[in-house]
Amino acid sequence: MSIVVTGATGALGRLVVERLLDTVPSGQVVAVVRDKEKAAPLAARGVELRIADYDRPETLAGAFRAGDRVLLISAHEVGRRVPQHTAVIDAAKAAGVAQLAYTGVLGGPDADFLLAAEHKVTEQLILDSGLPHTFLRNGWYTENYTANLAPVLAHGTVVANAGDGRVASAARADYAAAAASVLTGEGHLGAVYELSGDVAWSLAEYAAVVSAATGREITYSSVPAAAHHGILVGAGVPESFATILVDVDEAIGRGLLAGTSGDLARLTGRPTTPLAETVAAAVADA
């Protein structure tokens, strides 16, 4: 039995692999990747590489083996995820894997925002496949915000249309640790985990945390959805993606990313990474 991570050189995938290598022998870990050269450091540590591409279903035929525990990390290209995920699910079923864990979105069927649509379809495809599965419904990564610190620092303000909505985010490494726990532990088949940070915070509070970390006054500017869309497009964000970002903010305003189930801390065995810690690290690297 191998533990197989798809998208293993991506931002989440590489963290999952790192966590696995802390707990199981490298010979049990398999990385499914598109680019062999990019994954060379993993191979050097004893991780088996299987080369496959979500967009080329024929390459997935050799990606999995009977009895493998597989983590399907959702594809990053919005609008193309359903066929890509379908190819992985079909290959996993044909191989007879022992577990297919999938990184969906917090709230599952109750998540009514645009970004959740493909995740909900994928979960249903997995259910229809009959595969032994685990749903890891990931909430927001704190890095979704700290990765965009440059414009915040340049303008001295956090701009969004989320109103007073709250976000129960956690560090990407927290979600990776939870995935590794599910892949290496027992009793997770058929389970659904709503994964989020221990504390939900508002964007005004986020601005205050950035202020404390930088020693500069950072404010929160809550703007109408249309105005925010225009700001994003004006900053070079593709219009279709700007629409998704604005829609997510609307969902935050409705409280859909504020849930604090405690599942993430229970799976990792520790509190989730505080907002201030991730912000401080990002500021130090800026």
Q: Which pLDDT value is given to residue 76?
A: 85
CATH classification number, 139-170+196-258+273-286, choose in 3.90.25.10, 3.50.50.60, 1.10.10.10, 3.90.280.10: 3.90.25.10
Mean pLDDT of the chain: 96
CA distances from 258 to 112, 128, 242, 253, 262 (A): 14, 29, 22, 9, 12
Strand pairing category for 99-105 and 69-72: parallel
Q: Which residues have CB under 8 Å from 122's CB, separation 6+?
A: 74, 81, 82, 85, 89, 102, 104
Percentage of the chain lying above the pLDDT 90 cut: 97
- Give residue-wise pLDDT tens across range 89-116: 999 999 999 999 999 999 999 999 999 9
CATH topology of domain 3-138: Rossmann fold (3.40.50)
Q: For the whole model, what pTM was predicted?
A: 0.96
The domain segmentation of the chain, as residue ranges, is: 3-138, 139-170+196-258+273-286
Residue 27 has pLDDT above 90, yes or no: yes
